[in-house]
Structure 1
Amino acid sequence: MKTSNPVLARLGQAAERERAAGYAPAGGYGQPIPGQPYPTADGYPAAPPTVQPMSIDDVVVKTVTLLGITGITAVAAWVLVPDALLGPAWIGAAIVGLILGLVISFSRMANPALVVTYAVVEGVFVGVISKFFESLYDGIVLQAVVATFGVFFLMAVLYKMKAIRATPKFTRGLIAAMVGVFAVMMINLVLALFGFDTGLRSGGPLAIGFSLICIVVASLSFILSFHEVEEGVRMGLPQRYSWTAAFGILVSLIWLYIEILRLLSYFQGDD
């Protein structure tokens, strides 16, 4: 089946190769017959491949699992990492998480171990950054968590009602926006390392506007994730690709949470 989504197309091709490899009987007997989907033995069709296609329930379970791992690791980091090491832990987890995220995103195979490792690393990142903001503004973490899941469920409802649809034009535009926002973040980070303040994270009007843009883009990214899950099920991707789908949702949730946390801090800066 064809799809306009390049990620799904790539995963679909990988899945086809996996299914093709899985068709060969364990004993090596039997040869495929033209028009026959499975190889045969002694003229009789062999059993269908054992690779199970993923379902929406699989993605839900994997997403909840990853959220649980991230949450538990975040609590552990909050409790165990001393205040003096919050900065190094924050930076280290952010760098490792970025590298793992890129490896998973550009990988041609679903890798559950890498996805779980990413959840652990991001749990450390979320835990230390949450502890830092909570030390400055009491109650801000709970507000950010509630707002994050509120936005997530709102986008799920809008997608279910088809109020927002992942059309090819929408997909291209959102991917371009995500790349643009990421590029701006990286440029701002590099300039900050050299002592140049662009104002994007200073709490002023420009910072508020940038955070609002990030929140909108992160929120809309859920539409792409929901669409990828739906299309992945329709294409019959192997069950283990549900980890990849859950990874996409986790990335959007963490990004949205961090941006909401920042935005809330801007409005509490004078407290």
Structure 2
Amino acid sequence: MRSSNPVFSRRGFSRDNGYAGFGAGPQAGAANPYAANPYAGSPYAQPGNPYAANPYAQGGPDLAQGYPQAPVQTAGRMTIDDVVSRTAITLGLVILAAGAAWALELPVGLGFGAGIVAMVLGLIQSFKAKPTPALILAYAVFEGLFLGVLSQAYNDIARGAPMQAVIGTTAVFAGVLIAYRTRIIRVDRRFTRFVVGASIGFILLMMVNMMFAAFGGGDGLGFRTGGLGILFGVIGVVLGACFLALDFKQIEDGVQYGAPREESWLAAFGLTLSLVWIYTELLRLISILNND
């Protein structure tokens, strides 16, 4: 069963296999030293598929050693260009909607209402077996409206914080991409377990803090202000960077093993979620630092 949280419900975050990859295919034989690799069962690496040369299912090089050259692309298979173009469309809608919300000075109530709609649309996409482009694009619009209102509110508190958060998000994206491509970051079973476990704990703490704030007033347990706020802001940014690494692994596996072209929409959705997460955490962190 897939997770109800859009952060954990991307391809690979299911209870079927528990790890980052493309589903739960049969594992390789016990004699194969790569049999425990979560990517060994890719459904796209099947006999007759030109992408069937899965290095993990055949005792190939491990994550630190790089990958064999991908075969020539065939029609209907996901490519890097597909992911880039669809991510550009999705993020472009987020940016346009955020700019419109800022320029029109939408009321805070409408902005947070748009945020709730975006969350619902994200959850619906999370439960669907296949990506729905219209649903993902609608999510991007409503998420953008929410971010526009949120950014304007933070800008009133800490002048220039939204632009600083945009620059910081871009820097985190570039840094994680370079670290992933140079194999400084290795997305394996242990890495995935750590990210999922840490993220669940982080989200639960934030939910508890919100409940205390709602019923007790103020900032609840203080996880969003002062020294604790700075600490949890840094942790949130680091978790967002880890999400990006998982997204990059998903994309690389999809291209290598011939994922259907429609999976590029899910990759764009995942990247958008990660970047929005990083931006909002940086926005809070910068606001706290500017007001200390």
TM-score by length of 1: 0.79
Counterparts of 1:118 and 1:152 in 2: how far apart (Å)?
21
Q: Distance in 1 between matches of 2:85 and 2:116?
A: 28
The one of 180, 204, 207 aligned to 1:183: 204
Secondary structure of the residue aligned to 2:268 is helix
Residues 10 and 108 in structure 1, CA contact (< 8 A), matched pair in contact too? no
1:220 aligns with 2:242: yes
Report what 2:223 is aligned to: 200
**1:56-85 CA-partner distances (Å, limit 9, x unpaired):** 111111111111110000000111234xx2
Does residue 9 of the first structure (1) align with residue 23 of the second (2)? yes
Relative to structure 1, is the Cα distance of residues 56 and 137 closer, same or farther in structure 2, using a 3 angstrom cutoff? same
Change (3 A) 1:36 1:136: closer
The structure-2 alpha-carbon separation of the partners of 1:16 and 1:167, relative to structure 1 and needing over 3 Å to count, comes to closer
SS in 2 for 1:187: helix
d(CA) in 2 for partners of 1:98, 1:51: 34
Render the CA deviation track for 1:4-39: whole Å, top value 9, x for unaligned: 736621699xx979xxxxxxxxxxxxxxxxx989xx
Q: Which residue of 2 aligns with 1:101?
A: 122
Query: Do the aligned residues in 1 keep the contact of 2:222 with 2:228 (CA within 8 Å)?
Result: yes
Confirm or deny: 8 A CA contact 2:78 2:264 kept in the other structure.
yes
3-state secondary structure, aligned to 1:120: helix
Across the two proteins, how many residue pairs are aligned to each other? Answer: 234
Of the structure 1 ranges 242-251 and 175-184, higher mean CA displacement relative to structure 2 is found in: 175-184
- Structure 1 residues 56, 133: CA separation in 2 closer, same or farther (over 3 Å shift)? same
- Structure 1 residue 186: Cα displacement: 1.9
SS of residue matched to 1:256: helix
> 1:10-159 to 2 correspondence within 5 Å?
52-82=76-106, 85-86=107-108, 88-159=109-180
- Which AA in structure 2 matches 1:65? I
Moved more, 73-82 or 50-59: 50-59
Q: Which has the higher helix share?
A: 1
1:268 aligns with 290
SS of residue matched to 1:166: coil
Report the residue type matching 2:223 in the other structure.
Answer: L
Structure 1 residues 216 and 245 mapped into 2: Cα distance closer, same or farther (>3 Å)? same
Give how far 1:89 is off. Answer: 2.4
The answer on 1:246 being equivalent to 2:260 is no
Give distance in 1, aligned partners of 2:203 and 2:151. Answer: 21
Larger RCO: 1 or 2 (CA < 8 Å, sep 6+):
1
Change beyond 3 A, Cα 1:165–1:215 = same
- Structure 2-normalised TM-score? 0.74
Please tell me the root mean square deviation across aligned C-alpha atoms, in Å: 2.5
Aligned residue type for 1:60: V
Over 3 Å counting, the alpha-carbon distance change for 1:36 and 1:253 in structure 2 is closer
Corresponding residue SS for 1:92? helix
In 2, Cα distance between equivalents of 1:58 and 1:158: 23
Change (3 A) 1:138 1:5: same
Gap change, CA 1:36 and 1:185, over 3 Å in 2: closer
CA change 1:7–1:90 in 2 (3 A) is farther
CA distance 1:148–1:36, change in 2 (3 Å): closer
